[in-house]
């Protein structure tokens, strides 16, 4: 069955304690969830990855992990950075090019290409975020997430009709998975998951609470 890829992007939320609570509630309440049509990926910040991985194994949860970002440099003397190589045992995926990275950390196409190269060398799968269909998509990316900045965290998602049009444009030159992200929640998720060519969703705010995440995942 065609599994929809659902990425839970926790951004800079949660400490270890919050992450433990999330994992406990998520694992005890996901019993009735149909997971045969979903691939669930949790993307906590770096400080939580090891704990979330241990708990996912302990609770035998059908989830994989993603980083939210990686260094554009290899492992080495780059204080404060986390290289793709350091993450290869912790995560299967990394997000690259999220609009918050582009806006607040001035990541441009060149830096994002370097990050993509690092991820590929480390064997990580990439969820590459673009804000419109004319943005460059590097070679070797497994999934592209269309995330218009105005829709992110605003409670006002892009219209399903427009998302469908953008997906079509992306699919003209990209053969991997195409996801939508921006104010997806349990109430509107069905409007997006069934769009033509939709391979999944990138969910921010609505993924922070384990019960609201389960409700969102229960909608199809």
Nearer to ligand PGA, 7 or 23 (CB): 7
Which range in 17-25, 50-58, 147-155, 210-218 contacts ligand PGA by CB under 6 A? Answer: 147-155
The single residue listed with the structure tokens 């990316």 is: 141
**DSSP string computed for 67-120:** ES---SS-SSS-TT---HHHHTTT-SEEEE--HHHHHHS---HHHHHHHHHHHH
Q: How far is the CB of 206 from ligand PGA (least distance, A)?
A: 6
Per CB under 6 A, does 6 bind ligand PGA? no
Q: How far is the CB of 114 from ligand PGA (least distance, A)?
A: 22
Which residue's Cβ lies closest to ligand PGA?
204
Which range in 53-61, 101-109, 188-196, 204-212 contacts ligand PGA by CB under 6 A? Answer: 204-212
CA 80, 144, 93, 188 dihedral sign is positive
Per CB under 6 A, does 183 bind ligand PGA? yes
Nearer to ligand PGA, 176 or 182 (CB): 182
CB 52 within 8 A of CB 21: no
CB 157 within 8 A of CB 188: yes
* 147 belongs to the catalytic site: yes
Per CB under 6 A, does 182 bind ligand PGA? yes
Structure-token pair, residue 91? 């995560």
Q: How far apart are alpha carbons 79 and 14 in whole angstroms?
A: 23
From the list 204, 210, 213, 217, which residue makes contact with ligand PGA (rule: CB under 6 A)? Answer: 204
Interacting residue ranges for ligand PGA, rule: CB under 6 A: 9, 147, 152-153, 181-184, 202-206
Active site residues: 98, 147
């Amino acid at each position: 069955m065609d599994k929809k890829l659902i990425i839970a992007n926790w951004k800079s939320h949660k400490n270890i304690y919050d992450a433990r609570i999330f994992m406990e509630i998520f694992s005890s309440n996901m019993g009735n969830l149909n997971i045969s049509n979903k691939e669930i990926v949790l993307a906590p910040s770096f400080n939580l990855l090891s704990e979330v991985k241990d708990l996912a194994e302990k609770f035998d949860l059908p989830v994989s992990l993603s980083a939210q970002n990686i260094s554009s440099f290899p492992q080495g003397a780059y204080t404060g950075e986390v290289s793709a190589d350091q993450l290869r045992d912790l995560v299967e995926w990394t997000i690259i090019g999220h609009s918050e990275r582009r806006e607040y950390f001035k990541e441009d196409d060149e830096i994002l290409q370097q990050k993509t190269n690092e991820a590929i060398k480390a064997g990580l799968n990439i969820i590459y975020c673009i804000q419109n269909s004319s943005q460059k998509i590097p070679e070797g990316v497994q999934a592209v997430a269309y995330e218009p900045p105005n829709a992110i965290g605003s409670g006002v998602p892009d219209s399903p009709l427009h998302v469908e049009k953008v997906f079509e444009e992306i699919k003209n030159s990209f053969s991997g998975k195409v996801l939508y992200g921006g104010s997806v929640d349990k109430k509107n998720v069905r409007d997006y998951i069934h769009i033509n060519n939709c391979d999944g969703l990138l969910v921010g705010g609505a993924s922070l609470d384990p019960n609201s995440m389960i409700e969102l995942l229960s909608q199809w």
